[in-house]
Chain A
Amino acid sequence: MGQVTRTTNPTRLRQIDRLHFVVRVRDDGPDGRVFWIETFDHTAAKLEPEIQLACIAHAGSTEEYLELGAVSGITQDRHSIRALATDKPLRFRFIFYKAGESQLVAYTDGVKAKAEAGNLGSSLVDIEPTSLGGVVWKLVMPQGAGTGEKPNVLVEKALFPTAHSAANHPWFGVLVMPEVMREVATAIAKNPDGLEDPESWLYRWAEFIKVLGVDAPVTTEDEEAAEDWADRLVEKFAARGTFRHHLAQAEAEMNGDQR
């Protein structure tokens, strides 16, 4: 007898690769943030030209919904997202439907604006410059359990205008990243099964932990044992070449050497 599984897709809903989108965000100062679709290739996405596109821009508990017309006529008009929280990761969900019908034919989730995402798309942690109102950085751990989710380090854009400027900064590397690693390690220690669950955001960390030479934690309710495991992971993380390079740069800067 046939079995309904989560992979049967009875609604025939298609997932469109987010790589078909190039979305930009700009802060227009007093007018707040705006976004626009720089490119969307509906032919490459195999969508009929008359299919309609709508967008849900969301950050934390704030969201904006916009209908953008037929996929063949997408313009680069600016759309205000000033009501969205700036201290939460900004993501776009695009939905595709036939005019006059409410059932979707396709969707794309988790699209990030190019300017904010930098080139760190394949990393395990996202870094997003934003306005934090006086705070320099803030870690937002994944809310859901989905495999596409990542820990997000929000950074004050006045200090780090791009993700790369933060990722390559020695002080960011030595002060922020170990704490990020510790938070992730703690999340793993609380749910070691996530490392083996392809639908968990922790799954992608299994290989990273292996490369660091640390055995996966065992399920335990002993908080001290979990903390010890997290400490070991952070120590191994801090022994990596990139971290030691950042540490050497930071030490040189403390000693007054020119970078």
Chain B
Amino acid sequence: MHVRSLNAAGISALVAWLENPSGASPRQILNDEIFTEPLPDGYHLDPEAQFATSYDLGVYLSSQVFPVVPDSFALLNRHGMWAWISLAYMDSLLGKKSGLPLDKPHYVNTHRLGYRLIARTAWDLVALHGEAARVALGSKLSPWGEMAEQMTSRQQIYANRSFWPVARRLYSLVDGTVKSGATSQRDKKARRDPKSKAGLGGVRRLPFAFRQFDRTFNLRMMDADAITALLPAEYEKWRSK
């Protein structure tokens, strides 16, 4: 099927369903000229494809749908197209337990929350970081897990090509799932207790440690093992876990 773009009426129809998701998603509008517009590039996708994880969706989009992109920034800004793709793959983008959609920003572009648009971010992260993107997008429990939120909401690390392999090295298990406790928060009580190890070395703290080393090292020319070896003792359990 040709990739199309939802127009204002199409986005309204999608948003109306997201706000009141009774019944099936309005996939019948995908080819309806009242709700959609054609795109000039001739990109194609398989509307029947299913994806176990958002990482799988990102791999499919980057290798099969958009293998060559002359202007990736322009593609990122096609908000109607990404809403159309969200609708096309809605079955793979629903909450795994509830079978219901997540919050609206995960399917349509939303000011300041654009990184949460799953299909777009999955494509972008796989295009930027390849296999390393799996650490954020590989959850089989939710199309947008806490790891995805933590790793995409900070713009200093989103595109940093040396950060992602380090996060993968620390927090991924061999099967691609995330180690237990990787997203734990170090709460106020733990911060006041020097003996508490809660949240230490987790992904919420890694960007700050990374930023410190980024001041004094050219991390972009170092591999993940070399960077991981620099990290302080609180990351030891993640290095060896």
B is bound to A: yes
Instruction: Name A residues whose Cβ lies closer than 8 Å to a Cβ of B.
Output: 11, 13, 32, 54, 56, 58, 60-63, 65, 67, 82-86, 95, 97, 102-104, 107, 133, 143
Contact across chains for A104 and B160 when beta carbons are under 8 A apart: no
Q: Closest CB of chain A to B53's CB: distance in Å? A: 22
Contact across chains for B73 and A54 when beta carbons are under 8 A apart: no
Contact across chains for B155 and A104 when beta carbons are under 8 A apart: no
Closest 10 CB pairs of A and B: A61-B155, A61-B158, A63-B159, A65-B220, A11-B216, A102-B222, A102-B218, A102-B217, A97-B218, A62-B159
A62 — which chain B residues lie within 8 A by C-beta? 73, 158-159
Contact A54/B77 with A61-B115, A61-B159 known, Cβ cut-off 8 Å: no
**B72 CB–A CB distance under 8 Å:** yes
Contact across chains for A103 and B220 when beta carbons are under 8 A apart: no
Docked pose: A56 CA to B159 CA in angstroms: 11
**B1 CB–A CB distance under 8 Å:** no
Q: Which residue of B lies closest to A133 (CB)?
A: B77
Docked pose: A67 CA to B73 CA in angstroms: 23
Contact across chains for A84 and B73 when beta carbons are under 8 A apart: yes
Contact across chains for A65 and B161 when beta carbons are under 8 A apart: yes
Contact A102/B226 with A61-B115, A67-B221 known, Cβ cut-off 8 Å: yes
Contact A104/B72 with A63-B159, A63-B160 known, Cβ cut-off 8 Å: no
Instruction: Name B residues whose Cβ lies closer than 8 Å to a Cβ of A.
Output: 71-73, 77, 115, 155, 158-161, 215-222, 226
Contact across chains for A54 and B216 when beta carbons are under 8 A apart: no
Contact A104/B158 with A82-B73, A85-B73 known, Cβ cut-off 8 Å: no
Docked pose: A95 CA to B159 CA in angstroms: 18
A143 — which chain B residues lie within 8 A by C-beta? 155
Contact A13/B221 with A61-B115, A61-B159, A84-B73 known, Cβ cut-off 8 Å: no
Q: Which residue of B lies closest to A67 (CB)?
A: B221
Docked pose: A60 CA to B158 CA in angstroms: 10
B160 — which chain A residues lie within 8 A by C-beta? 63
Docked pose: A76 CA to B65 CA in angstroms: 37
Contact across chains for B217 and A56 when beta carbons are under 8 A apart: no
Contact across chains for B218 and A95 when beta carbons are under 8 A apart: yes
Contact across chains for B221 and A32 when beta carbons are under 8 A apart: no
Contact across chains for B216 and A13 when beta carbons are under 8 A apart: yes
Contact across chains for B72 and A13 when beta carbons are under 8 A apart: no
Contact A83/B216 with A60-B155, A61-B158, A133-B77 known, Cβ cut-off 8 Å: no
Q: Closest CB of chain B to A181's CB: distance in Å? A: 22
B71 — which chain A residues lie within 8 A by C-beta? 32, 82
A56 — which chain B residues lie within 8 A by C-beta? 220
Docked pose: A85 CA to B71 CA in angstroms: 11
Give me 30 A-to-B residue pairs in the complex whose CB atoms sit less than 8 angstroms apart, sorted by A's number.
A13-B215, A13-B216, A32-B71, A54-B218, A54-B221, A56-B220, A58-B159, A61-B115, A62-B73, A62-B158, A65-B161, A65-B220, A67-B221, A82-B73, A83-B72, A83-B73, A85-B73, A95-B218, A97-B218, A102-B217, A102-B219, A102-B222, A102-B226, A103-B216, A103-B217, A103-B218, A104-B215, A104-B217, A104-B218, A143-B155
B161 — which chain A residues lie within 8 A by C-beta? 65
Contact across chains for B73 and A107 when beta carbons are under 8 A apart: no
Docked pose: A242 CA to B134 CA in angstroms: 54
Docked pose: A125 CA to B221 CA in angstroms: 34
Q: Closest CB of chain B to A233's CB: distance in Å? A: 25
Q: Closest CB of chain B to A94's CB: distance in Å? A: 11
Contact across chains for A54 and B220 when beta carbons are under 8 A apart: yes
Among A85, A97, A107, the residue within 8 A (CB) of B215 is A107
B215 — which chain A residues lie within 8 A by C-beta? 13, 104, 107
Q: Closest CB of chain A to B189's CB: distance in Å? A: 25
Q: Which of A11, A63, A84, A85 has most chain B Cβ within 10 Å?
A: A63
Q: Closest CB of chain B to A57's CB: distance in Å? A: 11
Docked pose: A11 CA to B159 CA in angstroms: 26
A63 — which chain B residues lie within 8 A by C-beta? 159-160
A107 — which chain B residues lie within 8 A by C-beta? 215
B155 — which chain A residues lie within 8 A by C-beta? 60-61, 143
